[in-house]
Chains A and B, each alone.
Chain A
Amino acid sequence: MSGTSDSVQNNIGPKRLVVGAHYGLRDWLAQRVTATVIGTYAVVLFISALLAPEPGYGGWAGLFAATWMKVFTLLALLALIYHAWVGVRDIWMDYVKPVGVRLALQIFTILWLVGCGVWAVEILWRV
């Protein structure tokens, strides 16, 4: 082998290429940031629902009438979509080894999540 190229010589010590995509740290951080957004939203929604001015439909739907709540809900949902993507992809990477099957499941996951996101926008801005 003519393994004297730069790529070989530079892949030593801390510069060693361990994995290909380098998304480990990014996803680790994203998982925590998105989780915090979702958790905060859940607490805000729970308290808002408890403090709703009237019981039943009026009070509940009224929560989502305000633009800030629509935006907050959508942000939480976008966080949820990314969070679920990282988590579900981890499941496929851990248990599904055949590349073709894994790719199919990953495509399904993306379509499922993006579909849910589009639907949520449509629901939110209908009210």
Chain B
Amino acid sequence: MSELAKKSRPQFRNIHVTQLVHYRLPAAGVMSILHRISGAGMFLTLPIVLLFFDWSITSELSYARLMEVFDFTIVKLLLCGLAWAFLHHLLAGIRHLVSDMHIGLAKEQSAAWGKGVLIGGVALSVLAWLKIFGVF
């Protein structure tokens, strides 16, 4: 082993799970981790969405049954969550595409992206939520 390899160096590791709550994440960071969480959530609920899709197009009868299932509040909440997950993931993804073009990479702009995507995702979701709960 060379002298270089033996030298003790400071190690910068990922923070531990228990430290997460003490870690002040900037808006862009919150947006980013929610991009990942929303994606994971949609991955895990994919079979449920497929089941709903199955019922929605198989027959008049299964469609009617799906509409009854949609009346349950717990199902409505699931749909609300999925709507937010999709919209947030979509907006955060668009941000990635824009960043790839080297647009909006400065520090202040990055923070603005974070807030913009977070707020935009929720704002669009509110429209979906109102629709899901039959307000319009």
* Chain A interface residues (CB < 8 Å from chain B): 32, 35-36, 39, 42, 56-57, 60-61, 64, 84, 87-88, 91, 109, 112-113, 115-116, 119-120, 123, 126-127
Contact = CB atoms under 8 A, between A and B. Distances in A.
A42 B40 contact: no
Contact of A60 (B42, B63, B90, B93): B63
A64 B93 CA distance: 27
What does DSSP make chain A's interface, helix, strand, loop or mixed?
A: helix
Contact of B96 (A32, A42, A84): A32
User: How many interface residues does chain B have, given as a range?
Assistant: 20 to 34
Contacts of B96: 32
Given A42-B90, A119-B50, A87 B43 contact: yes
What does DSSP make chain B's interface, helix, strand, loop or mixed?
A: helix
18 contacts: A32-B97, A35-B97, A39-B90, A56-B63, A57-B63, A57-B64, A60-B57, A61-B56, A84-B39, A84-B43, A84-B46, A87-B43, A109-B43, A112-B46, A113-B46, A120-B53, A123-B50, A123-B57
